[in-house]
Each structure stands twice: as structure tokens, then as C-alpha cells.
Amino acid sequence: MKLWQKDKASLKEVETFTVGKDREMDMYLAAFDVQGSLAHIQMLESIGLLTKDELTQLQSELKKIYSQIEKGEFKLQDDVEDIHSQIELLLTQKLGDIGKKIHSARSRNDQVLVDVKLFLRNEIEELVKHIQPFFDLLQTQSEKYKDHLLPGYTHLQLAMPSSFGLWFGAYAESLVDDTITLKAAYDVVNKNPLGSAAGYGSSFPINRTLTTKLLGFDDLNYNVVYAQMGRGKAERITAMALANVADTLSKLSMDACLFLNQNFSFISFPAELTTGSSIMPHKKNPDVFELIRSHCNRIKALPNEIMLMTTNLPSGYHRDLQLLKEHLFPAFKTLKDCIDMAGLMLSSIDVKKDILADEKYKYLFSVEEVNKLVLQGVPFRDAYKKVGLDIEAGKFSYNINVNHTHEGSIGNLCTEEIKKQINRLLESFPFKAVETAVAKLVK
């Protein structure tokens, strides 16, 4: 069954190629297609395109379908093109001509658009809810290990003293900025395109403000042409926000792989969290972090992929947009799994003590010795030259005790200040209002 079919069917090869993986991707959208339809029919009844009785019957059947989807009991029939066709077919089988009225005043274009935006909105919320406990874990570990020093590197060369407090805390604060971009993506996604139809509006006197309220959207995509142009843009902005989170996890994973290496030997993990070798009995491989790194690097390619797929497309709908779902939709679960696995690893980490007591790290303290001279009144350049000459002459002496007190330094991590930043961000998401609106719609 195809919503657009009249008297002639497409060649089988054309149908197979154009459908592609869309049926598989549509299962991500199933619940949201029902939500959009529930709002749409309520609006249709308000403008006289459905009777009150027809609305009641359609609502009852749609909610049954929604329940099946929530229970994992819903599937697309083999001969049905997509989720929209399947739902309309089920309604028509149950209600006859009433089921055929559900598509009045909309196109598959705005139907897909609203489904995608509802899906992205929900997935961003779920992702943020995964980030929050991971952020808390990073901050907990930052405080726990704040007195454990480790080498800081620039150019992968020894630079200055750092600490595990700084290391864990850096990734916590990185998630704050990542969440800012998720909020920006959420704001773009949380606008209602329903009613833009094929991209040029409708001659019916539809009430787009009503569907906006019913679906819990913050606002409308007002211009109907832009509503269609927004497809691809919303996905790209969301993909960039995912890529930012992925970049944080990828860098953290690379650090962990290095730190676990025997030449560094800064950290270790229980044997059950690492893997072995088929021939080397001593191996404890950081496979979890290596896979997180690879998964996240692939997610980092998503914005560019979507950008290229939408390059040079004029305004209006194009079938190219169908393919945007294939890598973006599964990326949410992949990223959430990576966050959860990183959390599992870091919650069981063992941090080595007294790393910097080893003399091979002595030059980490060269800046400390320069600064001591400056505090005694020696001009910085003279102090720098003196310490440099001492190093070259083999006369460098140092003390491994550091006393950094400024904001964000080893001795002043500003953990609470960073926590306040993310809490303000989390409070800015209208999750409760959206959940209330959706719950009212589908109950």
C-alpha cells in the first residue's frame, strides 16, 4: 500500500531502490507518527473536517496502536511502504472511510518532518539524561583524586604538573559546553513544522498554533517554505551537538589508553573490564576505550556527511533527505552506550599514587622553580634563563610539592562552580512541559 499510488505501480526495481532502508528507519519514528496524528486530528475536528464522533473513534484506535508500539508489538507489514501508510491502513481497516480522513490538510512531507523533530527532541532529552550521571561521576572522581598528581603534556612531551582532579574535572566541564550545543539543537528541533504540508501550506483553515500546543513544541516554524528547508538543517545541527559529546568521549578514551600503557602506568582497571590476548598471557587491553574512541570518531563524521548530502539542494523537498536518517538515528543509541561504558570503566578505575616522585618527571617542575625565583624579585626572563642553564649543566634542583590556588588550578578545582553551570543548563530544558503535553495527548 502506498499513500500516493493511483492506478499504476512503480517498477519493482525502482520501488526497492527508492524505499531502501526507510522501513527500518521508520520504526524509530512509529510512536512519534502516532503523536503527530493525534494532534493533527484534534486540530481537524476543531475546524470542522472531522466530527466529534469521528475524532473519538480515531483517537481510540490511534492510542491502541501507540500502546502496541510502546510494548514492542507493532510491525510494518511486508507489502506496506512506510509507517504512515501502515497506520492509515490499520485505521481504515478498523474504521472504514473515517480512517481515510486522517491525511486531510497534510502531506507526507510535513508528516515526516514532525515525526523527525519529535524523535530528535526525545532523543536529545534521553542523551542529556545519560550525560548528567556521567558528569556527576567525573566530578566525584575529580574530588576523590584531586591530590594525585600526574604529568601534564604538550606536544606529548613533559610539560608541567597536572592532577587527576584536573583530568577528571576537565572532561566534566567539557560536557557543560557539549550540553550547551545540545540545548541549541533542542531549541531548533522544538519548533512545529506540521501544517506546512508539501512546503507551501494548505487551503484549509488549519490551526497550526493548536497542534504546536498539543505536541508541546515551544514555537512554530512559521514560514511553510522554511519549514521544509529546515529538514536537513535540524539533523545537521543535532549531529554537530552529538559530535561534540563524541569528541569529549573520544579524547578521554585516548587518554585512558595512553595512561593504561605500561610505559605510562598511571591507571589500571579490574581484569574483568579489560580483554586478553590469544598468545600473550600478560595482556590487559583497553578494548572498551578503543571501541568508544572509534564509535565516537565515526559520530564526529556525521555533521559533514549530512552537510555534503544536502549540499546544493534547492528549496523544497527532495528524496535525498530520506537518507539522512540512516546514520543519524542509530547514532543516539551508540553514543548513549559509549557514555554508559565510559562511566562503567571510570567508576572502577585505580589511580597510581606518587607518580611524580619518579626522577624522570623532574623537569615537570622547571616552571615551578622559575616562578619561585620570580617571587623573590628576579625578572622572569632572567629566572627562565637561570633554570634553563641549570638544567643544561645538570644542576637542576626541584621540589615536587605544588601550591596552585587560582580558579581552575590543581589546588582550586572549582567543582561546585562547574556543577552550577550544568545545573542551570539542565533547568533550561523544558522536558517536564513536553512530557506533560505528550502524556496528555496519548493517555
In tens, the pLDDT along 134-176 reads 999 999 999 999 999 999 999 999 999 999 999 999 999 999 9
Max intra-chain CA distance, the chain? 94
Are residues 98 and 241 part of one domain? Answer: no
- Residue-wise pLDDT for 15-47, tens only, equals 788 777 778 889 999 999 999 999 999 999 999
CATH of the domain at 283: 1.20.200.10
- The yes-or-no verdict on residue 203 having pLDDT over 60 is yes
Contacts of 280 (CB under 8 A, 6+ apart): none
- The yes-or-no verdict on residue 187 having pLDDT over 60 is yes
Instruction: Flag whether 311 is in a domain.
Output: yes
Instruction: Flag whether 5 is in a domain.
Output: no
- 250: three-class secondary structure by DSSP: helix
Are residues 372 and 289 part of one domain? Answer: no
Are residues 88 and 127 part of one domain? Answer: no
- Residue at which a domain ends, from 75, 103, 131: 103
Give me the domain span that covers residue 306. 108-147+164-194+228-353+414-434
Are residues 181 and 302 part of one domain? Answer: yes
Q: Give residue for cell 528524496.
A: 319
Are residues 263 and 139 part of one domain? Answer: yes
Are residues 182 and 258 part of one domain? Answer: yes
Neighbours of 174 (CB within 10 A): 19
pLDDT of residue 4: 47
CATH of the domain at 34: 1.10.275.10
* CA dihedral (254, 257, 259, 264) positive or negative: negative
Query: What gap in Å lies between CA 153 and CA 157, rounded to an integer?
Result: 5
Average pLDDT taken over every residue of the chain = 94
Can you say whether residue 277 is alpha, beta or left, with left for phi > 0 and alpha for psi between -120 and 50 degrees? beta
Number of domains, the chain: 3
Nearest to 268, CA basis, from 256, 250, 254: 256
3-state helix, strand, coil in the chain (%, to 5): 65, 5, 30
Let me know the angle formed at the C-alpha of 116 by 208 and 206, rounded to the nearest 5 degrees: 15
Task: Name the residue type at position 119.
Answer: F
Instruction: Flag whether 27 is in a domain.
Output: yes
Are residues 387 and 346 part of one domain? Answer: no
Are residues 35 and 179 part of one domain? Answer: no
Instruction: Flag whether 335 is in a domain.
Output: yes
Instruction: Flag whether 408 is in a domain.
Output: no
Are residues 418 and 296 part of one domain? Answer: yes
- Residue-wise pLDDT for 365-412, tens only, equals 999 999 999 999 999 999 999 999 999 999 999 999 999 999 999 999
Contacts of 63 (CB under 8 A, 6+ apart): 34, 38, 442, 443
Nearest to 79, CA basis, from 16, 133, 170, 159: 16
Query: What gap in Å lies between CA 288 and CA 338, rounded to an integer?
Result: 9
Are residues 173 and 123 part of one domain? Answer: yes
Q: How confident is the model at residue 279 (pLDDT cuts 50, 70, 90)?
A: confident
Instruction: Flag whether 442 is in a domain.
Output: no
Q: How confident is the model at residue 364 (pLDDT cuts 50, 70, 90)?
A: very high
Are residues 175 and 33 part of one domain? Answer: no
Are residues 48 and 22 part of one domain? Answer: yes
pLDDT of residue 214: 98
Instruction: Flag whether 266 is in a domain.
Output: yes
Task: Name the residue type at position 94.
Answer: K
Instruction: Flag whether 299 is in a domain.
Output: yes
